[in-house]
Structure formats: C-alpha cells, structure tokens
Structure 1
Amino acid sequence: MMMNEEIKGIPCLAFSSVVTRSSSDFDSDHGIKNSILNFKFSRNTKCDGSEGWRSGSNDKNQYVIAASSGIQRFVGISIQGRGDADEWVSSFLIRYSLDNKRWYEYKNGQVFNGNIDRNGVVNIKFEPAIIAKTISLHPITWNNHISLRWELYTDDEVCSFPQIQMGNVSIGDKTLSNNKGPIEYSRCVTFDKPFVGAPCVSLGIKYFDFSKESGQNRCAVEAKNITNKGFEVIFKRFSNDNLINDCSIDFVAFWKGDDYIPSDNEFKNPSLFLYNKK
C-alpha cells in the first residue's frame, strides 16, 4: 500500500462506471452526488448544494459505497475533504465484496490515514489490487463532521473470469497396474483459465468397479486441494490386488461466488488471484 503516490488508473466516479450511494445524507444538498473528487458548486446558483457528501449522522456506522456491474480490478482510491467547510475524514477503512453478499475488510481491517484539510487530496494505491464488484469506505475519525469527496480507480485489465469449465483427467500410465506400486496416485489438473475464487468440482464418478478372476474389485476417485487455478485427482485402489491399467474421469468445475473466501496468501500474492495477461 502506497500513500500519496500518483495512481495510474481509470477514474470510476468521474466516468460514471459505478453506482454510488451512502449510509445517510445530511439533506438533499449534501448528498452522494456531490462526492466526486474536486466537486465544486456553481457560484451562480445554489442548486448544486455543498462541495462534498455530508453524512446524516456523525458516527462510525456511516459509509459511502461504489458498485460496478461486473468484477473490477481496483488499483487505488483518492479522498478529499468538503470544499466549503472545515469537515473531512481523517481516517477510514476499506471493505469490498465480490457478490454484494459477503464483505471483507481490505488488509484485515487496516485503518488508513485520511485528510488534514479541506482540499488536499490523499492518494492510496492498493497493493495488491482489490478484485471486487463493490467497494465501500468507512470513516473511523473525522474533523467536525463526516464529509468527503473521493474517487476510485481501476486499470484497463479486463477481469473476465469463467463461471464453469469442463475437462477430463486420466492416470495416463501403468503406475496402479503393478502390485508393488502405490495404493494411491494423484494427478494435477490445471484449469485453462483461473476462476476468480476456488470453484466447486464435480467428478463424473466417485467409485468404479471391475471384475477379475480373483473377484470383484473397487477403486475410488476424489478431488482434493481445490484452488482457483486447479486441483488434484486422487485415484485409490483398496488393495494390491486391484490392478488398474488406466482410467479417464470427466470433471465439471463451477464457481459459486457466495461460497468464496479469499485467503491471506491471495492478498499477499495477487498473482495467485489474477490470471496473467497474455
């Protein structure tokens, strides 16, 4: 996370690529519509209201929120005080959501320093970037009254994540055809394109049976260690008599957004979370 470094990105509020709302507004002249960075009211009319959003209540339950229609890669935020009064947010935290159902605190709830005056702009570069549909800013401390102007930035990378992928995996050799070989054998599956989060994986079969002169035999197949980039398939025989020459299993992987919880490792290593540009 870098503060007051120039943010190279596409401004969301200025380009109306997100929908904004607030926890409360002081009145219609102090609404969220006035929260765009560097907003100034017209000197010739009073119709524009105040130079910034002003909350209806002065407590830690207040927030502003920006929601996009799809998953975005947010690279930074700028925050500024109210331009026509000594009111600003001096510290805040960031929350975000992939599906508007489950919310997560960025950097485990780290509190960021905000403004110290009306018009100074504080830039915060997100490292790693936040992958989300919705971002919210929650004031923690403020001067006189909760008021702000702000901007969010995305980069030009298109966050196009798959919802479903299909394929098959086979043992591919005679490892399990030797009675001196292992009882279990794993094969790694790499998705053609990483999901935004760890998907659900369904295999075509769970067990398969086959007959030999010695009698009926059974083997098991299981998916383990599922991540957004792939998973392991475990082929298991129940005894050394269960010799398998080879087998191929179909799979379906699908992402359920409300079941995904990003790991600390993904926060620290954004390359684990995003597919690389080609």
Structure 2
Amino acid sequence: MLLVVGSYALSNCTGSKLGIESSEIPSENIRASSEYDAHSGAHRGRLNIEPTNDGIGAWAAKTNDLNQWIQVDLNEVKVVTGVITQGRNNYSQWVKSYEVLYGMDSSNWQIIVITVGTPKVFVGNTDTDTQVTNLFPFEIHARFIRINPMTWNNHICMRFEILGCPVKTKFCTDPLGVEEGTIALTASTQYDARHGPEYGRLNTTPKKGNIGAWGARSYDQNQWIQADIGALKWVTGVITQGRNWTYSQWVTTFEVLYSIDGNNFKYIIEADDTTMEFVGNANRNSQVTNLFPKPVIARYIRIHPTAWLHAICLRFEVLGCSDVDQSLMLTCPANVTLPTDKGVNTALVDYSRNITTSLSEIRPDPTSYFPAYLTIGQTFFKFYASDDNSNEISCTFKT
C-alpha cells in the first residue's frame, strides 16, 4: 500500500481564527477563574464583543491577582499558532502582559516557554480596542488554551481569539502499553537487578525485587531508557514520574529520540531545528505529560535524561495512536521550485528537515544532500523511499 502525504512543516499553518469571535465555539467552552459579576463572565471575552444588555464589553476577573485566567476548549485538537487580545470596550481596563498554557484536557497544562524553565511572557494591550496579535515561538497541538494575565491596567479585563489550523496528521494521546506491560523496555545501564528497565513503567510501585523505578548505574549524559512499541505508530508525547516510595530521585529535564528500526535515532526538535529539552519531574509521583511539537512515526522511543535530582530514576509511558499505520509514506514539500544562485549550479534552500519517511530510508540522505549541487543542465532531482515489497515512491524538486 502506498500513501503520499503533504509535509506538515511549521510554515503550513497560516493561523486562521478558530471560532471564539464568530461564536462557532459555544459559550460553555469558554471558562475563567472568576468573574466580577454575572455581566462580566468568560463568555464576554470574545474578540470584538461590545456592551449589550447581556453584559459588558470584556471578561472581567473578580480579583486582580496572578491566579486569574481565561481558557477555551476548542472541541478537538488543533494546531495552535498564537492569540489575539483586546482590552475592555469603552473602559480603560486591559491586560498588559500574560502567559499562555495549553493541554489536551483541562487538568494537565504545559506553558509556552522561551527556554526550558523560562515561561514566555507575551506583551499584551495598551488601550481598550486595538487588537494585539502574538504568535508562539513554535506551533503546538492542543485542545485547551489558557491565558494567565501577569500585569494589567486598572483591572483584569480581556477579549481574545485563538489562531491555528486543523490537524492534518494524526494526533492521539492513547497510552501505548508501557504501563500495562505489553511492550518491552531496555536501558543503557541499571544500578543492579532491582533497578532494571522493566521497573520503569508508569505507576510502578516497590515490590519484592524492585525499587519502584528504573535506576541507571551511572549518573552521566550517556544514560537512557527505551520502549519498543512493537510496530510503527504515530507517537505524540510521553508521561514521566520519579522513583516511588521514600527516595527523592527523579529526572528534571530530558530529551527524546525516536527510530523506525532501533538503530538510527532522531531527536525531537524545536522549530529552529535545535534539540528539544523537556521539563521533567519535581517530585516522586506526580505525572508530568510532555507533548511533541508534532507527531512522529516511530517504533522505538528513547528518553535521554539531561538533569536529575540525586539519581537517574524514571517511570514513564509513551503516548500516541494505538492503531497501526503500516503504509509506506514519504512527506515532501509540494510543488517546490528551488532557487539557484546566479547561474551557479547549487540549490541553496535546505529542505532536508521537511522530507521524512516511514518503513524506509530516504535515498539520497536529505541531511547530506542540501545544498544540492546540480549537474550541468539538471532541472530537477528526486528523493526515493521503498518498502520490503519493492513498492517505491518519490518526490521531485524542480530548479
């Protein structure tokens, strides 16, 4: 079976309004930490809303403190790229700065960050009605978006809209079998037989013969624990915990690698192509969910601890789509014409990050092919992928 799909590169989502202003999103999907009175509830927080008999021209919090927020349930997972905000219509009340959190449900939140541990503070409004658009440093996948005001003028009042697009690739968050014990775990090292990778499953508790987590033998940058999920699947994130029981041992930051074959691994990366570092745990038992910027197709998921408290100890689960996609897939940018440099036979734009495959290696290797050095008179070139049944697909770049 052959399947050719378009790239889900970061530039694909132009960021349309997702339905707050238009009321496609119903009022019951918009909630807030508090409201000043019945005329200033979260449902009054729609972009461009004006005062009516039903309420004022904005959401207004009951109290002015850092515990206030307004959030929206988008009804389904979307690619989210940014927000638009306004102050209160006809009153000098607005939010001057804020943070943004996101999640797949209304309980587990991640915050938009600049770097690991440093939340991004967005610049908000300076008057009542001017729309201020803030785009995120990277696209996120989320169903719930929460805005947390940090500073304000006179009173916390806001109108807002969310920008984004429908998800074109699968984005499920099903547990893929680590906790239930149906998939195999391996690790770089284990402290002893009681600290083996088989004890690294989410919610493992100490029993006879184990310590309630995987524990590495060495505390260095060469340690990892890995899950073989048994088949190629869409993988979207991980859940982590520290060591159960009385020991304060957990991983505070980590990287994630993925592979089709268990030999060739790639890192989950940021929008700027740097390796993404995830924020891990801050205690023994709380579950911390980290979602990837976009889904990956993989059979093997490897967690690489980069910082820890006292010892490298970890329990985890892998999230993704439980149904298996065994299609041969090659993703490429569509209808690309590469610029060449003033007659020099070199295609300068590096598209290697936008070419991915499943079940196969890409020929030639995109990471070593760009910049593309063209033969005299060459007007196009191709990348190929094939499966075990000799089915082959390709994508073409014109010059």
TM-score bin, normalised by smaller chain: 0.5 to 0.7
Match of 1:196 in 2: 236
Mapped partners of 1:57, 1:117: distance in 2: 20
> What is the one-letter code of the residue matched to 1:54?
A
Q: How does 1:156-175 map to 2 (within 5 A)?
A: 156-158=166-168, 160-162=170-172, 163=174
Provide structure 1 residue ranges, at least 5 long, that are not aligned to the other structure.
Answer: 1-6, 170-185, 201-224, 234-257
Q: Is the 8 A contact 2:98 2:123 kept in 1?
A: yes
Aligned pairs, how many? 198
- Residue of structure 1 aligned with 2:262, choices 232, 257, 263: 232
Mapped partners of 1:194, 1:148: distance in 2: 37
Mapped partners of 1:193, 1:232: distance in 2: 14
Q: Is the 8 A contact 1:80 1:150 kept in 2?
A: yes
> What is the one-letter code of the residue matched to 2:84?
S
Which is further off, 189-198 or 121-130? 189-198
Question: Given the alignment of the two structures, is residue 260 of structure 1 paired with residue 266 of structure 2, yes or no?
Answer: no
Q: Is the 8 A contact 1:196 1:274 kept in 2?
A: yes
Match of 2:165 in 1: 155
Taking only the aligned residue pairs, the percentage that are identical comes to 24
Alpha-carbon distance change, 141 to 274 in structure 1, aligned in 2, over 3 angstroms: farther
- Residue of structure 1 aligned with 2:122, choices 84, 92, 112: 112
Q: Larger radius of gyration, structure 1 or 2?
A: 1
1:135 is displaced (CA, Å) by: 1.0
Q: TM-score, normalised by structure 2?
A: 0.43
Match of 1:103 in 2: 109
Mapped partners of 2:239, 2:259: distance in 1: 9
Q: Which of structures 1 and 2 has the larger relative contact order (alpha carbons within 8 angstroms, sep 6+)?
A: 1
> What is the one-letter code of the residue matched to 1:49?
G
**Runs of 4+ with >4 A deviation:** 188-191, 225-231, 273-278
Q: How does 1:2-81 map to 2 (within 5 A)?
A: 8-13=15-20, 14-17=22-25, 19-42=29-52, 47-81=53-87
Mapped partners of 2:77, 2:31: distance in 1: 18
Alpha-carbon distance change, 156 to 144 in structure 1, aligned in 2, over 3 angstroms: same
> What is the one-letter code of the residue matched to 2:77?
I
Q: Is the 8 A contact 1:96 1:135 kept in 2?
A: yes
Provide structure 2 residue ranges, at least 5 long, that are not aligned to the other structure.
Answer: 1-13, 178-182, 185-225, 241-254, 264-286, 298-329, 333-399
- Name the Cα RMSD after superposition: 3.6
Q: Is the 8 A contact 2:17 2:161 kept in 1?
A: no
> What is the one-letter code of the residue matched to 1:197?
G
1:9 is displaced (CA, Å) by: 1.5
Mapped partners of 1:148, 1:120: distance in 2: 12
1:193 is displaced (CA, Å) by: 4.0
